[in-house]
Amino acid sequence: MSTSTTSSLGANPNGTAASTATVAAGKTQGLGIAGSFNTFLALLTTQLKNQDPTNAMDTNAMTQQLVSFASVEQQINMNSNLQSLIGLQQASAVSSAAPLLGHQVEVASNQLSLQNGRAALRLPASATASQAQITVTDAIGRTLKSDVVQLGESAADWQWNGVADSTGRRVPDGAYTVAVAGRDAAGNPQPIAATTVATATSTTYTPSSGSNGAGSFQLNLGGLAVPFTAIRNVRN
């Protein structure tokens, strides 16, 4: 689009002032090219008035140019609306997490949360696996607790008091890696699904490093943080 098109929207000598007033009014009312048909027509007719008669722009090309501007404006507005939706989703996530705080939840995780000297796993009922080999390790891979549990007819909790087998000393509260291996009566490996049981203490929001503005929420279980998708059950 020519420079004269953007600087004048009227046929009078005060065209520049008219242009400024028209654009300012459009912005004040929240209307742009895509939001006001009158503005679109004003730009189109002004383009025609300010063309060089000896080198007129092709009408189709000119119209396509204005339509492209409208399309870009719609995308900008869409991005703004998406940002608003993301903000609403974040507020909704915080509100949804509030009832969980202070309650015990079961989550899918390869870590235990030792809280106030207690940690727990929820073991499934006996099926193809009749027993579970539980191994708890610290951050550098040292085994803190090893136990073999016979699975019963119904799911049950396995608890650890935070005392290390090797030293007999209680380790501090925090997150510890846990591995649960299922075995059948003959000792053969069998799949088993155990969940970590812990008390929800808070939530954490991590902003996105990308340009979409969507971050992520995590539920904190003492020293263990898990995504909300890891929640399997909430206890009364």
The 10s digit of each residue's pLDDT in 90-123 is: 656 666 777 888 999 999 999 999 999 999 999 9
What is the distance between the alpha carbons of residues 199 and 27, in angstroms, rounded to a whole number?
Answer: 51
Q: Is the pTM of this model over 0.85?
A: no
pLDDT > 50? residue 11: no
Q: Where are the alpha helices (DSSP H) in the chain?
A: 3-7, 15-28, 37-49, 59-97
Helix (H, G, I), strand (E, B) or coil at 69: helix
Same domain, yes or no: 143 and 66 = no
How sure is the predictor about 191, in pLDDT bands with cuts at 50, 70 and 90?
A: very high
Q: What is the DSSP string of 70-136?
A: HHHHHHHHHHHHHHHHHHHHHHHHHHHHGGGTTSEEEE--SEEEEBTTBEEEEEPPSSS--EEEEEE
Contacts with 226 (C-beta within 8 Å, 6 or more apart), sequence order = 107, 108, 109, 218, 219
Q: Examine the fold and report which residue of 97, 115, 136 is the final residue of a domain before the chain moves on.
A: 97
Q: Examine the fold and report which residue of 67, 97, 127 is the final residue of a domain before the chain moves on.
A: 97
Same domain, yes or no: 74 and 62 = yes
pLDDT recorded at residue 72: 65
pLDDT recorded at residue 138: 95
Nearest to 109 by CA among 30, 218, 13, 185: 218
Same domain, yes or no: 65 and 112 = no
- Tens digits of residue pLDDT in 195-224: 999 999 998 877 766 555 556 788 999 999
Same domain, yes or no: 89 and 135 = no
Instruction: Check which CATH number belongs to the domain holding 223 and give it.
Output: 2.60.40.4070
Amino acid at 158: W
Same domain, yes or no: 173 and 227 = yes
- Tens digits of residue pLDDT in 20-73: 444 444 444 445 555 565 676 677 677 677 776 666 666 676 667 667 766 766
- Please check whether residue 175 is in contact with residue 224, taking contact to mean a CB–CB distance below 8 angstroms: yes
pLDDT recorded at residue 188: 94
pLDDT recorded at residue 216: 78
Segments forming the whole domain that contains residue 151: 101-234
pLDDT recorded at residue 172: 96
Same domain, yes or no: 114 and 227 = yes
